[in-house]
Amino acid sequence: MAEPKKFNCEAIRADFPILKQTVNGHPLVYLDNAATTQKPNAVIDAISHYYRSYNSNVHRGAHALADQATEAFEASRTSMAQFINSPKREHIIWTRGTTEGMNIIARAWGEANLKAGDKILVSHLEHHANIVPWQMVAKKVGATVEPIAITPEGEIDIAAFKAQLDSSVKCVSFGQVSNALGTVHPLDELIPLAKAVGSLVIVDGAQAVGHFEIDVQALGCDFYVFSGHKMFGPTGVGVLWGKEALLESMPPFLGGGEMIETVSFSGTTFNVLPYKFEAGTPDIAGVIGLGAAVSYLNSIDRKAAYEHEHALLEYTWEKAANFDGLIRVGQPKVCAGVFSFLLEGTHPSDVGMIIDQQGVAVRTGHHCTQPLMSEFGLPGTVRASFSFYNTKDDVDRLFGALNKAKTFLL
């Protein structure tokens, strides 16, 4: 792999064509990266090249285009395996995204392994995608889903978590980074605690992969799931990574073509990993595009990119502290990419609408974290979320737009 280029925000911005446009008559300030990141030319071109030049189904073809498509599709799997330090490329299962990955684990592993009386722990900070699949499986098997308490700062309450852990806890599922507050959980401390009582550990990496490097082996989790569209890849494609013994022991989630070895009315046998979990025609263009996103990220000095992003967050906090009526929501010690806040006396959706008129794109609402919002007694927040292509000027534009929102709304 070539050495990554020195980080240069202006050069990076030039790779993202969407950032050059004006919205509502103003140059776009895109601060909704936690919802989805923008795509560099390299990703857009890889998808377009596939459709223009070698569109074909994978694995089954006996012609040149099918071979080319299969080669590109499987090359993405190899580069993804290296990207998250998977011991084998076969442990990378292509999914539609984090939500599907979590549902596969809850259904395929959960239904086969959980029973009445077992406990599943998830924190109050989790995205609905890391709560609802567990509630669904718990209801089926008679297990319970217990929330892990959080602190007023928006961090997992480690003492409360320790007190919950006993041999009835069979599964703990953490987000690595909170999409609502940006909290980076101390997984190096939390995972060994769960492991010590014999629990399975799942990590929802949706908000982590776009910000820093992931090493699934160093984390020590059993499963890791994420979405391509939050790491500069396309929508509709993501990854379920799992430990080999677990993936081998799990029944398939969907049945159909590709996931079988032989089919007969007297009995069907299943394909090897990863294909056992990849029934039907996959999102071939999506997987190829995601492979291009991995190559793009590999070409960037990611530590410098993270430092740039973090400096923007610090600059934002500084400005926020001097902005009358702004209430920051959550003050985690370690925070990645997200600034959640309220403007006193206003509703988040009104603020979002007014700043959109000035070309500033943020997200407002509960951010698919209703249990967190009810813990904090809030209807929702305004969330500005950052990526490495954002600039200090974007932050200044955000606060300029907020000033206008204040005059308009108060």
Catalytic sites, residue numbers: 368
The DSSP code sequence of 276-311 is GG--S---HHHHHHHHHHHHHHHTB-HHHHHHHHHH
Give the binding range for ligand PMP (CB under 6 A) out of 115-123, 202-210, 340-348, 389-397: 202-210
- Distance in Å, CB of 269 to ligand PMP, minimum: 31
Q: Between residues 148 and 354, which has the closer beta carbon with respect to ligand PMP?
A: 148
Pairing of strands 381-385, 338-343: antiparallel
Which tokens is 288 given? 């190829």
Q: How far, in Å, CA of 154 to CA of 160, rounded?
A: 14
Which tokens is 269 given? 């046998």
Q: How far, in Å, CA of 104 to CA of 253, rounded?
A: 6
Among the listed residues 204, 278, 283, 309, the single contact to ligand PMP using CB under 6 A: 204
Give the binding range for ligand PMP (CB under 6 A) out of 14-22, 201-209, 267-275, 294-302: 201-209
Among the listed residues 97, 133, 286, 332, the single contact to ligand PMP using CB under 6 A: 97
Q: How far, in Å, CA of 143 to CA of 379, rounded?
A: 30
Q: How far, in Å, CA of 79 to CA of 351, rounded?
A: 41
- Distance in Å, CB of 224 to ligand PMP, minimum: 12
Q: How far, in Å, CA of 293 to CA of 83, rounded?
A: 11
Among the listed residues 207, 295, 340, 381, the single contact to ligand PMP using CB under 6 A: 207
Stretch 334-373 residues interacting with ligand PMP (CB under 6 A): 368
The CB-side HSE value for 281 (13 A sphere, CA atoms) comes to: 10
Q: Between residues 336 and 355, which has the closer beta carbon with respect to ligand PMP?
A: 336
Q: Between residues 54 and 388, which has the closer beta carbon with respect to ligand PMP?
A: 388
Number of other residues whose CB lies within 10 A of the CB of residue 293: 28
Asked if 175 touches ligand PMP (CB under 6 A), the answer is: yes
Radius of gyration of the chain (CA): 22
Q: Between residues 33 and 271, which has the closer beta carbon with respect to ligand PMP?
A: 33
220 φ/ψ sector (left φ>0, alpha ψ -120 to 50, else beta): left
Rounded to the nearest 5 degrees, what angle is found at the Cα of 191, between the Cα atoms of 166 and 107? 75
Asked if 179 touches ligand PMP (CB under 6 A), the answer is: yes
Asked if 208 touches ligand PMP (CB under 6 A), the answer is: no
Among the listed residues 56, 98, 103, 381, the single contact to ligand PMP using CB under 6 A: 98
Beta-carbon contacts of 243 under 8 Å, excluding residues fewer than 6 positions away, are 91, 222, 223
Among the listed residues 72, 201, 206, 237, the single contact to ligand PMP using CB under 6 A: 206
In the shown chain, the binding pattern of residues 226 to 265 toward ligand PMP, with x for contact by CB under 6 A and - for none, equals: -x--------------------------------------
In the shown chain, the binding pattern of residues 16 to 55 toward ligand PMP, with x for contact by CB under 6 A and - for none, equals: ----------------------------------------
- Three-state secondary-structure class, residue 123: strand
Q: Between residues 179 and 387, which has the closer beta carbon with respect to ligand PMP?
A: 179
Q: Between residues 376 and 399, which has the closer beta carbon with respect to ligand PMP?
A: 376
In the shown chain, the binding pattern of residues 107 to 146 toward ligand PMP, with x for contact by CB under 6 A and - for none, equals: --------------------x-xx----------------
The DSSP code sequence of 366-409 is -TT-HHHHHHHT-S-EEEEE--TT--HHHHHHHHHHHHHHHHHH
Q: Between residues 227 and 340, which has the closer beta carbon with respect to ligand PMP?
A: 227
**Residue carrying the six token digits 């709560």:** 131
Give the binding range for ligand PMP (CB under 6 A) out of 16-24, 45-53, 96-104, 251-259: 96-104
Question: By the criterion CB under 6 A, which residues form the site for ligand PMP?
Answer: 97-99, 127, 129-130, 175, 179, 204, 206-207, 227, 368
